[in-house]
Structure 1
Amino acid sequence: MTQFDLICPNQIGSSLVGAHPGFQNFSLLGPAHSWAPSLPRRPPQEAQHFGHGAPSNYRFQYSDCTGRRKALLIGINYIGQPSKLLGCINDVSNMSVFLHEKHGYRREDMVILTDDQKNQLSVPTKANILRAMHWLVEGARPNDSLLIHFSGHGGRTPDLDGDEEDGYDDVIYPVDYRVAGHIVDDEMHDIMVRPLPPGARLTAIFDSCHSGTALDLPYVYSTQGILKEPNLAKEAALDLFTAIDSYGRGDLGSIAQTAIGFFKKATNGDSARQRTVMTKTSPADVVMFSGSKDTQTSADTFKDGQARGALSWAFIKALKNNPNQSYLQLLNSIRSQLDGKYTQKPQLSCSHPLDVNLLFVM
């Protein structure tokens, strides 16, 4: 997360457009053609069909979030490093207070990793982050409410297993990334999503650059509640425009990178989408709000008198203003907090097809 994208490599952008009708958040009231927003309803408790190309024998179950609560909060300012940030530790502090006061998370059920702590087990090294991710989901049961919040640097790396439509994996950077390396979305999915049973909720908030699909969740929703699908023809036109622009500026390196990215999308896009849906659809209830699209940066900014990450601030602000919102309303509320101030577009993704008009609970 940074306004200047200090360590996030420049990558070729991808574009997603709506392909399936979403649930409409309206009910007919009063005279004909008089419409008013309906109140969000709580999630159903019976098993749900996947649909949308997911394995036909799978079912998933929403969580009502009445079970045990656990949270993993990670904030990295990269103190003393060239790529330092200012607001990430504040994000974790604010999120901890918000979860405790507004959502009943006990302090003893939170693991907090920040790079200003003296205890070495509480420093967000790669080893400590991975250990804490395993702790978060250990022993998870139906209707548990688990939460991970990451505020720090993110980036992209070439996809090695063919499950990314644009040919790149999302990554997060631990405080010791220069020595230990980054953490890839595939690994985070395997640790925190794959082991969860039906009806267990994991809420993920990733306030970092290039975080749109940081948990490799297959179902991404637009602000109209429409399931997004890759549009390779539109992406080809954008890539062509980028190549022409790079040629005009004499940027031969960008031309080569654009060509490679287009080749990956043209040859792998559809098969990667199918692979992701078939292998990473989950019977659990995993929902993620990310700070930006895969191709965007996320801002380290100044809000309400202190340095903060833009998404972390907007998420808390939106829920404090109205605790009873649907998933779709919350996505739009978060976006409206940032609209006109930042270029980043927060994303909503899920491990299963989502009724976006259900009440957001955690």
Structure 2
Amino acid sequence: MEAGKKRLATLVGCNYFDTRNELRGCINDVDSMRGLLVGRFGFRPEDVAVITDEPGSEVLPTGKNIRAALRSMADRAEPGDVLFFHFSGHGTLVPAVEPHHHGRSRRDEAIVPVDFNLITDVDFRQLVDRLPPGVSFTIISDSCHSGGLIDQEKEQIGPNSAASARAAAPPPDDRRRSRGASRTLPCEDILQHVSSLSAVESEHVGDHLLDIFGGDASAKYFSRSTSTPEPPADAVGADDGILLSGCQTNETSADTGPGEEEGEDGKAYGAFSNSVRLVLGEQEEGEGGMSNRELVLRARKLLRERGFEQHPCLYCSDENADAPFLWQQQGEQL
């Protein structure tokens, strides 16, 4: 990377302590990722923001605080910079703003902060669109239903790609089994919670989030309140948004308990976050950077070998699919 170019990261882990939605591995995920970023990928410790709901945390991973951290990274970004966001926690599917968008009913992807102020696929699309040219923004979302979390980003590995089908094919004697707790929080549960706090009468979760959080709610729901149509699917060209999702849109991601991973350190982790860490850890120091495509395919393979049924996906431009993860050597080409 060229001298003076920045590497900025925001890492968010939500364990949802003392709730019926509690998870165990999310804070461990981001702690482990922080060590990897600083020790292997050249991030300065002061440029890595960690936001968790660990007891005693001064800044909690609410929707407002996560958005503020992401905006702060975007505001600091200059051409050639590398931005990274890792979310470990619950994901959900929410009703689309336009119920008959593209002629059918659909649900869209969102991550779930601790206050349920959802951050949606539209929010991530807007964040990518505001970045200066030549700034990469990589997301790892270890959450349920995370495929497609950057709205309209091109699928490289996923349910509709040939590479996905080959990578997902089990061996002849496949003994896969469901493992770990699900990192999903059904939208119906979220709607029940936020509607109890809201003064409006509506069956759409977005109306309640707007009423409760106002200007801090997802941009997706402002378009609903003003009847502004979503942009057409071909409105977005190639950009440097890169999403590595823990699973496909219709799947769940696993939160594993201590001892559920063979040969591990006894801590709980997210199955996808842990697989990424292990795959990257196989690289020798000084070895050429692993591409985003290779990282996702190898994480898929490792998950399958360990008995998990989720299928990580990759969404980005054709160029970034084969670019090194976190642009380890990309500075030479800028």
**TM-score, normalization: structure 2?**
0.68
8 A Cα contact 2:157 2:315, kept in partner: no
Residues in 2 aligned to 1:343 and 1:66: alpha-carbon distance in whole angstroms? 42
* Deviation of 1:78 (Å): 0.3
* Candidates 109, 113, 118, aligned match of 1:170: 109
Structural RMSD (CA): 2.9
8 A Cα contact 1:223 1:331, kept in partner: no
The corresponding residue for 2:146 is 211
- Do residues 281 (structure 1) and 217 (structure 2) align? no
The corresponding residue for 2:24 is 86
Q: Secondary structure in 2 aligned to 1:124?
A: coil
The corresponding residue for 1:348 is 314
| Deviations 1:275-319, CA, capped at 9 Å, x for gaps | 2331x3354x12110000000000001431210001111111111
Residues in 2 aligned to 1:339 and 1:199: alpha-carbon distance in whole angstroms? 35
The corresponding residue for 1:247 is none
Letter in 2 for 1:188: F
* Candidates 116, 121, 124, aligned match of 1:185: 121
Letter in 1 for 2:234: V
Letter in 2 for 1:103: F
8 A Cα contact 1:220 1:227, kept in partner: no
| Deviations 1:164-222, CA, capped at 9 Å, x for gaps | 98721101111111xxx3222112321x2111122101111000000001121421113
Q: Secondary structure in 2 aligned to 1:211?
A: coil
Q: Between the two proteins, what is the percent identity of the paired residues? A: 32
Residues in 2 aligned to 1:170 and 1:140: alpha-carbon distance in whole angstroms? 26
Residues in 2 aligned to 1:199 and 1:354: alpha-carbon distance in whole angstroms? 13
Residues in 2 aligned to 1:64 and 1:355: alpha-carbon distance in whole angstroms? 18
- Say which is worse superposed, 298-307 or 67-76, in terms of deviation: 298-307
* Candidates 312, 318, 324, aligned match of 2:273: 312
Give matches, 1:1-362, under 5 Å.
67-120=5-58, 122-161=59-98, 162=101, 167-177=106-116, 181-190=117-126, 192-222=127-157, 275-278=232-235, 280-283=236-239, 285-301=240-256, 302-303=260-261, 304=264, 305-322=266-283, 324-340=289-305, 341-350=307-316, 352-354=317-319, 356-360=321-325, 361-362=327-328
* Deviation of 1:119 (Å): 4.1
8 A Cα contact 2:158 2:248, kept in partner: no
Q: Structure 2 unaligned segments of length 5 or more: list them.
A: 165-228, 329-334
**TM-score, normalization: structure 1?**
0.63
Residues 79 and 216 of structure 1: CA distance in aligned 2, closer, same or farther (over 3 Å): same
Residues in 2 aligned to 1:166 and 1:100: alpha-carbon distance in whole angstroms? 43
Equivalent pairs counted in the alignment come to 250
Q: Secondary structure in 1 aligned to 2:76?
A: coil
Residues in 2 aligned to 1:116 and 1:164: alpha-carbon distance in whole angstroms? 43
Residues in 2 aligned to 1:135 and 1:172: alpha-carbon distance in whole angstroms? 19
Q: Secondary structure in 1 aligned to 2:234?
A: helix
Residues in 1 aligned to 2:80 and 2:45: alpha-carbon distance in whole angstroms? 20
Q: Structure 1 unaligned segments of length 5 or more: list them.
A: 1-62, 230-271
Residues in 1 aligned to 2:103 and 2:28: alpha-carbon distance in whole angstroms? 32
* Deviation of 1:115 (Å): 0.3
The corresponding residue for 1:28 is none
Higher strand share: 1
Structure of greater Rg: 1
Letter in 1 for 2:303: L
* Deviation of 1:139 (Å): 2.8
Residues in 1 aligned to 2:154 and 2:83: alpha-carbon distance in whole angstroms? 20
Residues 73 and 359 of structure 1: CA distance in aligned 2, closer, same or farther (over 3 Å): closer
* Deviation of 1:325 (Å): 2.1
* Deviation of 1:357 (Å): 3.6
Residues in 2 aligned to 1:65 and 1:277: alpha-carbon distance in whole angstroms? 36
Letter in 1 for 2:70: M
Residues 289 and 148 of structure 1: CA distance in aligned 2, closer, same or farther (over 3 Å): same
Letter in 1 for 2:135: A
* Deviation of 1:137 (Å): 1.1
* Deviation of 1:320 (Å): 1.4
* Deviation of 1:330 (Å): 1.6
Residues in 2 aligned to 1:119 and 1:343: alpha-carbon distance in whole angstroms? 34
The corresponding residue for 1:29 is none
| Deviations 1:56-94, CA, capped at 9 Å, x for gaps | xxxxxxx98982011000000000110100000000100
Residues in 1 aligned to 2:26 and 2:318: alpha-carbon distance in whole angstroms? 31
8 A Cα contact 2:17 2:53, kept in partner: yes
8 A Cα contact 1:73 1:92, kept in partner: yes
